[in-house]
């Protein structure tokens, strides 16, 4: 009787262990600090079904991500998604991230040039702090029947469109107008006096342009509603926003500005005090699978750095992408480099002055 009893007890212990392990997996939560659309509910459900890990999603933007992580010393979240140009300066100033273990990333799933470019732009003191996820541009969204001659950012200031344009009161607007005015702000990044001179000229232009602005948009939904309702006929906007409206209003198109669209890549970065690092790597590798990446593209409106992710999006989405970006337009994209410390304070003062100007 001893032997069966041993088997019985062993079976109980094994079963109990499995139950506890399952409970532990079910209880694990990945706290994700990200952008709207990057963690669709269906993808979260599929991830939990595969791993047993819950995902707690907090939507944010670059400024808020830095602020939240700075306030906690890198605690409170397990995975963040700052843009690649916003990592090294924040890390140098606030020490809020930890290096990425590239051995835990399935690099074969990523477009090599984007992975290498992001590694380069997020490297500090020999460590890599980010790998690529979603990319896109700030370009022009134009109702081509109502504003057919809007081809560059400065065209938003054409008096004929008074009260009919929109853009954000954020740093991309400053940079875009600088390029459209024939200056190169990125080349002046390491010369603060030269950069301030550029900012001063852009400030004057944006104050002059205020009468053209219906509203300074702050979120994608508000922007889309302004365009959909014809309250505005032209905007500086994320390319994905124009593509979304195009599906119901074919005359609204995303246009690559003649001075060059501004290119960005939103990354995966580990907050310094992440409590679910393994779950973070599982999420990264899960969402970079081509079919999952396509689901994120459909939700967010932008393509990802996943290899073959475009193979699984709708034909309509592939078409608007190709209509927007010719080979020449892609070659003309101005990719954001890392932001040197101190520049955002300078830009913030300019934005405040533009906002306050009558």
- What structural domains does the chain harbor? 2-135+264-319 (3.40.190.10), 137-263+333-356 (3.40.190.10)
| Region of residue 198 (phi > 0: left; psi between -120 and 50: alpha; otherwise: beta) | alpha
- 30 close to 283: Cβ distance less than 8 angstroms: yes
In this prediction, residue 25 carries a pLDDT of 43
Query: Would you call 52 exposed, middle or buried from its count of C-beta atoms within 10 A (0-12, 13-18, 19+)?
Result: middle
- 288 close to 114: Cβ distance less than 8 angstroms: no
Tell me the three state secondary structure of residue 261. coil
In this prediction, residue 12 carries a pLDDT of 46
Query: Would you call 41 exposed, middle or buried from its count of C-beta atoms within 10 A (0-12, 13-18, 19+)?
Result: exposed
In this prediction, residue 98 carries a pLDDT of 98
Q: String of b and e for 237-254 (b: at least 16 CB within 10 Å)? A: bbbbbbbbbbeeeeebbb
In the sheet where 79-80 sits, what is the strand order? Answer: 54-59, 29-34, 79-80
Closest CA to 260 of 140, 90, 83, 132: 140
In this prediction, residue 27 carries a pLDDT of 62
In this prediction, residue 310 carries a pLDDT of 85
In this prediction, residue 126 carries a pLDDT of 97
State pTM to two decimals.
Answer: 0.69
Closest CA to 130 of 264, 291, 289, 286: 264
Report the DSSP beta bridge partners of residue 143.
Answer: 252
What is the C-alpha separation between 281 and 104, in angstroms, rounded? Answer: 7
Mean pLDDT per 10-residue section of the chain, whose length is 358 residues: 42 48 63 97 98 97 96 98 93 96 97 88 96 95 97 98 97 97 96 98 98 94 93 94 91 96 95 98 98 94 88 88 83 85 93 95
What is the C-alpha separation between 154 and 231, in angstroms, rounded? Answer: 19
Q: Which residues make Cβ contacts (< 8 Å) with residue 264, sequence separation at least 6?
A: 83, 84, 85, 135, 136, 137, 138, 335, 336
In this prediction, residue 13 carries a pLDDT of 45
């Amino acid at each position: 009787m001893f032997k069966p009893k041993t088997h019985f007890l062993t079976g109980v212990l094994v079963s109990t262990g499995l139950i506890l392990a399952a409970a532990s997996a079910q209880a694990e939560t990945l706290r994700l600090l990200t952008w709207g659309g990057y963690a669709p509910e269906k993808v979260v459900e599929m991830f939990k079904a595969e791993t047993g890990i819950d995902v707690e999603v907090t939507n944010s933007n670059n400024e808020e991500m830095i602020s939240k992580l700075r306030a906690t010393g890198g605690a409170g979240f397990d995975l963040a998604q700052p843009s690649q140009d916003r990592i090294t300066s924040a890390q140098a100033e606030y020490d809020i991230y930890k290096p990425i273990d590239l051995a835990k990333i399935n690099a074969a799933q990523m477009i090599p040039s984007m992975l290498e470019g992001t590694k380069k732009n997020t490297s500090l003191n020999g460590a890599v702090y980010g790998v690529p996820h979603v990319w896109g541009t700030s370009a022009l969204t134009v109702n081509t029947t109502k504003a057919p001659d809007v081809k560059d950012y400065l065209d938003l200031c054409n008096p004929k469109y008074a009260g009919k344009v929109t853009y954000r009161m954020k740093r991309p607007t400053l940079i875009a107008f600088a390029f459209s005015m024939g200056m190169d702000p990125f080349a002046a990044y390491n010369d603060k006096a030269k950069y301030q001179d550029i900012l001063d000229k852009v400030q004057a232009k944006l104050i002059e342009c205020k009468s053209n602005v219906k509203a300074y948009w702050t979120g994608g939904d508000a922007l889309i509603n302004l365009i959909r309702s014809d309250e505005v006929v032209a905007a500086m906007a994320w390319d994905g926003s124009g593509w979304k409206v195009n599906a119901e209003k074919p005359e609204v198109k995303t246009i690559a500005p003649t001075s060059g669209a501004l290119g960005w890549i939103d990354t995966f970065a580990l907050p310094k005090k992440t409590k679910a690092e393994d779950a973070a790597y599982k999420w990264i590798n899960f969402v970079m699978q081509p079919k999952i990446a396509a689901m994120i593209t459909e939700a967010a409106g932008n393509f990802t750095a996943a290899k073959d992710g475009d193979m699984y999006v709708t034909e309509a989405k592939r078409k608007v992408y190709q209509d927007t970006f010719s080979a020449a337009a892609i070659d003309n994209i101005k990719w954001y480099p890392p932001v040197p410390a101190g520049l955002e304070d300078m830009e913030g003062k300019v934005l405040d002055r533009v906002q306050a100007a009558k």
